[in-house]
Amino acid sequence: MSFHPYLAFAGNCRDAFTRYQEIFGGELVVLSGADVPPEAAGDMSPDMGDMVLHAALVNGDQLLMGADAPGGTFDGQNRGMCCNVSVDELAEAERVFAALSDGGEVQQPLMQTFFSPGFGMCIDRFGTPWMVVTNDPNLAMP
């Protein structure tokens, strides 16, 4: 069994995943409303052409997915969840945290804790909450 975050966006999924690819690397695949063949579109509204129906960022065995919520049904707030990024080096945690928090809101600055050489929390400019943690080689935490 595996679990993969699937993020919701209020019309800015393409921008968010383009930024995530800049930060994390990997291969980005985006399926938009314009990619849907006419015979499969059904009653899909013509204004959904720019809407992202599915985005996937693949980096090795890591997968992050998301989509724009149809018809304005998403208010831009991801509640009750956050994406966690675990890295082995403090310098990488600093780089990732700075990039994710740029234009967003820092909830906890990246700092040393009892469980990590560097841990921080932020909400990025797209409304996605993130935790960035530097793995401590002395602790057996996944």
Q: pTM higher than 0.85 for the full model?
A: yes
Q: Which amino acid is at 57?
A: L
Structural domains in the chain plus CATH codes: 1-72 (3.10.180.10), 77-142 (3.30.720.110)
Per-residue pLDDT of the chain (142 residues; tens, 9 = 90+): 678 889 999 889 999 999 999 999 999 999 887 777 666 666 666 666 688 889 999 999 899 999 988 766 667 677 778 999 999 999 999 999 999 999 999 999 999 999 999 999 999 999 999 999 999 877 765 5
| Tally of residues, the chain | 142
- Joined together, the tokens standing for residue 13 give 């999924």
